């Protein structure tokens, strides 16, 4: 088989058709090789240079026509007036800028004075906070003293609790004619709305709910599933009936 001869510039090149389409009326090569594509590019550049030359000639003609045109002269006059107005406005803006600088200086002076007054106010507020801190300290000390007194009262209530129990026990050991003291709960409230405890039997006749209320009031711990005999025994021991 005879080998095909290689000719530089005649190699086929695959280029999409829309890539070579143009508005310069330059014909797209029917066969896209390296040579025809290069020639197509040169034709495009030539056509662009022709357009640039035509545009330059048109601009020169337009300029020559405008130089003798009254409208063009009026535009030049208007342009000159606008330039003069810009210079005048620049001078006025410079004067306004100077006035604004003076106003800014005066405003800064007033702000500095206000800042000084605010600093003095902050100092006074700091002194007031210090006094309030001292007052809080004194109130804390007073609260500590009140808590101490409250603890003493609680201890006294506990002592009175035991005193009443011992007195009730003494009265039961005597003639039995003296009435029993009602022993208040540990928080100081009386056991209102509950069966009155006057004897060993009055505890045994209580409902489980009343037994639990009494034990809770006296701060006695018991198992959640404790049965009635156990609750009766706890309450009897608490009030000295055993």
Written as tens digits, the pLDDT of the chain (242 aa) is: 444 454 555 777 777 767 777 777 778 887 778 788 888 888 888 888 888 888 888 777 777 666 666 766 777 777 887 787 678 777 877 876 787 788 778 778 888 888 899 899 889 989 888 888 888 888 787 787 666 555 644 544 554 555 556 566 656 655 555 566 678 888 878 888 899 888 888 899 999 999 999 999 988 999 999 999 999 999 888 888 77
188 in Cβ contact with 154 (< 8 Å): no
Residue ranges covered by each domain of the chain: 17-67, 150-239
Residue located via tokens 């004075």: 113
Phi, psi of 18 (to 5 degrees): -70, -20
Alpha-carbon distance 125 to 133, whole Å?
A: 12
Alpha carbon separation from 95 to 46, 89, 100, 107, 221 (Å, rounded): 57, 10, 9, 18, 92
């Amino acid at each position: 088989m005879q080998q095909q001869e290689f000719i530089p510039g005649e190699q086929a090149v695959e280029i999409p058709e829309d890539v070579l389409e143009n508005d310069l009326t330059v014909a797209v090569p029917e066969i896209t090789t390296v040579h025809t594509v290069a020639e197509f590019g040169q034709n495009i550049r030539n056509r662009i240079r022709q357009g640039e030359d035509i545009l330059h000639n048109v601009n020169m003609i337009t300029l020559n026509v405008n130089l003798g045109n009254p409208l063009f002269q009026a535009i030049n006059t208007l342009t000159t007036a606008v330039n003069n107005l810009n210079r005048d406005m620049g001078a006025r803006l410079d004067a306004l800028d100077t006035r604004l600088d003076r106003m800014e200086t005066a405003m800064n002076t007033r702000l500095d004075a206000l800042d000084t007054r605010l600093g003095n106010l902050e100092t006074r507020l700091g002194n007031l906070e210090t006094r309030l801190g001292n007052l809080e300290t004194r109130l804390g000390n007073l609260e500590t003293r009140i808590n101490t007194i409250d603890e003493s009262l609680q201890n006294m209530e506990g002592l009175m609790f035991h005193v009443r129990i011992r007195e009730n026990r003494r009265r039961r050991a005597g003639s039995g004619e003296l009435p029993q003291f009602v022993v208040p709960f540990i928080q100081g409230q009386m056991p209102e709305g509950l069966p009155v405890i006057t004897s060993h039997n009055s505890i045994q006749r209580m409902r489980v709910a009343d037994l639990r209320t009494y034990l809770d009031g006296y701060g006695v711990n018991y198992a959640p599933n404790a049965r009635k005999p156990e609750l009766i025994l706890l309450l009897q021991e608490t009030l000295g009936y055993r």
